[in-house]
Amino acid sequence: MHESSAKTAAENPRPRARPPRAVGFALVIVLALGLVACSQRAGDLGRQNRDYVARYVFDDVDRHLMAGGRAELSRLPLTDVEQAMYDRLWRFFSAPHAYEWSPFGKSRVNPVDLKSGKAFEATDKYYKYLRHAGFKSTRGRYTAMTSHIEADLAMLPDAFAAVCAVERLDDQRRTAARGLPELDAETAGQLDMRLIENANVALILAAALDYRYQSYSYALKRLLIETPDEAARDVDAGLSRLAVGVEAAGRGAYCG
């Protein structure tokens, strides 16, 4: 299943359908294995170094999912728009409120579990984090959940806008390439690689957002059984708003 999904992504640099759940979560996890290791590798002005991050991302995808040809980075110059996308998404991936429990923080998942699907049962980590965070009241857990969901919601508009801007940029690239039939094979190949890179980044954001939503939902259901509180209404309202973003990202509708 993973190999066929990876081939489909390579054939269609700008997918619009929601990626299969297993592939989506796998992309999230393999991204995490690299991003955690390079969290301090920043470029100028504190911006995340795209080459360092992306090299880890695609190396891990190649090693654990592709089981074949080398996944490489395009040598085309990185545009300001693409750098801005990496900056915006890095802020979402490395948000402090998710560091303790998300695959982008301390949480680890064994890579050998990726193909078996066991790695995708990790949405209880947020619940466990809340249970052991030392809150002095039951309402404190619900208040924390609300603030975490609100933090994600606050980052989504910029993240979506950044991905949308890159999609429009890639449309311009395709139009320019069609208007230049004498384009050399080397440049055409590098363009295809860049289109795939950018499409995969969009898939990773969709999977990461879905992981957050599933984690919050699981924690809410457990807490409603263990320690019901009126504050759960605020959490539920936040989840309803977050679900809109999850659905849009799943469809690849970053441009609204």
pLDDT tens, N- to C-terminus, the chain (256 residues): 444 444 444 444 443 333 334 334 334 433 443 443 344 444 444 455 555 455 444 444 444 333 444 456 789 999 999 989 988 888 887 789 988 887 655 544 444 443 444 444 557 889 999 999 989 899 999 999 999 999 999 999 999 999 999 999 999 999 999 999 999 999 999 999 999 888 878 887 887 888 899 999 999 999 999 999 999 999 999 999 999 999 999 999 999 8
With a CB cutoff of 8 Å and minimum separation 6, the contacts of 6 are: 23, 61, 65, 66
Token pair 């592709």 is at which residue? 66
Token pair 């919050």 is at which residue? 216
Count of alpha carbons within 13 Å of 87, Cβ hemisphere only? 15
In which region does residue 49 sit, left (phi positive, over 0), alpha (psi from -120 to 50) or beta (all else)?
beta
Q: How many CB atoms lie within 10 A of CB 131?
A: 15
User: Distance between CA atoms of 84 and 254, rounded to whole angstroms?
Assistant: 15
